[in-house]
Copies of this chain bind each other. A is one copy, B any other.
Amino acid sequence: MASNAFGKLFRITTWGESHGKAIGVVIDGCPAGIPLSNHDVNVALVKRAPGQTPYTSPRSEPDRAEIYSGIFERKTTGAPISIIIFNKDSDTRPYEQIKSLLRPGHANYTYTKKYGTFDYRGGGRASARETACRVAAGAVAKKILEKSGIQVLAYIRSIGDIDIDYSRFKDNEIDENILNSSIFCPDSVSENHMIKAIEAAKTAGDSLGGIVEFLVFNMPSGLGDPIYEKLEANLAKAMMSLPATKGFEIGEGFHAARMKGSQHNDAFTNDHHQPTISNHAGGTLGGISTGMPLIGRVAFKPTSSIQKEQDTVDYQGKRQIFKLPLGSRHDPCVAIRAVPVISAMCLIVLADAVLLNRCAMIEAG
């Protein structure tokens, strides 16, 4: 079953394994006439790169993406854009040692059940490395949205038990704050607490979960489609297709379930720049954008790869102790590195929605 593609008119297909020769993405359906260069893509990838902070795994230098097709005279042509990121040579020997064991929290068990085989080297296709391709595609989607002024932000909302405090920064400071944060946290006070918690977890051979928030300014109204293609439904699928995600919410999210209608309803105004006074809805009504900022959150489980020993069994069903091989390195909190990926998925969903919306009314063409 073809499961490596996302989007309708702006459609991405990704390929490649963690320890294969390369990974890549083909973007099919990007409109012609958009200025695009390798640099645009690599800027986005640098943000995501491992080793950027002490709190993500220090594996190596940043990825270098190259555009192989779809560009002529520095602009998109309407042809598919193939972007390839060559993998560095990796030592697959550590994975040999554990290949016969079911890894707690990992996909080797389920892939083997489904496919009868599993490329255990670095997790193969199940590796989070695939998300680099999403970031690359997001950089292209961003270009589609640029003219409309849509601005997508994503940042750490919480790590473990530590939440950010909105009173400590303004909306227009978020972008700069996360640029200056080693963990994409807009609130520097919380950031310090988070870093300590991460270090403590690491020392203990353990890991932490976290929540990433996305926030979109300058949203036009009318994006998203009724019933099965609601904007939040596509965002939910986009986000829940990321590794390690356990939850998605928009606006007040799960908190809305504890509110009253008189509290939750957003009163309409006659201000075109801010159609409702409050924004409990999070930017959509009936699955279609209102024009208010889009806001939502994605929950990440704590990293499954931990240094602590864990009980497990091998493929023959014999009880075993699972221990990470020496030299293997993993992020103590996957939510951090997921931040640019959340941005990317948001950009991809919105670029598709913008294109689809050109066909809502007969007079639009």
Contacts and interface: CB of A to CB of B under 8 A. Distances in A.
B281 A105 contact: yes
Interface stretch (A47-55, A56-64, A252-260): A252-260
A51 to B, nearest CB: 21
A206 B261 contact: yes
A365 B313 CA distance: 29
Contact of A313 (B24, B161, B270, B301): B270
A232 interface: yes
B249 A300 contact: no
A15 interface: yes
Contact of A228 (B6, B22, B111, B236): B6
Nearest to A105: B265
A9 interface: yes
**How many copies of this chain?**
4
A343 to B, nearest CB: 17
Interface stretch (A167-175, A186-194, A354-362): A354-362
Contacts of A362: 31-34, 76, 144, 147
Q: Which of A227, A317, A354 has the most CB of B within 10 A?
A: A227
Interface in A1-54: 1-11, 13-17, 20-24, 26, 28-29, 31-34
A268 to B, nearest CB: 4
A110 B33 contact: no
20 contacts: A1-B359, A5-B11, A13-B26, A13-B80, A15-B70, A31-B360, A31-B364, A34-B362, A84-B84, A107-B285, A113-B221, A207-B260, A236-B240, A256-B299, A261-B305, A261-B306, A354-B365, A355-B365, A357-B365, A358-B365
A279 interface: no
A33 B259 CA distance: 38
Contacts of A73: 117
A280 B258 CA distance: 24
B257 A211 contact: yes
A80 B31 CA distance: 25
Contacts of A317: 270
Contacts of A160: 257-258, 260
Nearest to A245: B232
Interface string A67-79: 0111011011111
A14 B282 CA distance: 27
Given A4-B228, A80-B15, A303-B261, A247 B256 contact: yes
The 3 closest A-B pairs by CB, nearest first: A107-B286, A247-B249, A3-B225
Interface residues of A, number: 159
A110 B222 contact: yes
A98 interface: no
Given A232-B240, A261-B303, A358 B360 contact: no
A262 B79 contact: no
A180 interface: no
A158 B282 CA distance: 22
Contacts of A246: 249-254, 256-257, 282
A319 to B, nearest CB: 7
A79 B83 CA distance: 18
Given A79-B119, A114-B222, A257-B210, A106 B286 contact: yes
Nearest to A332: B261
A214 interface: no
Contacts of A211: 254, 257
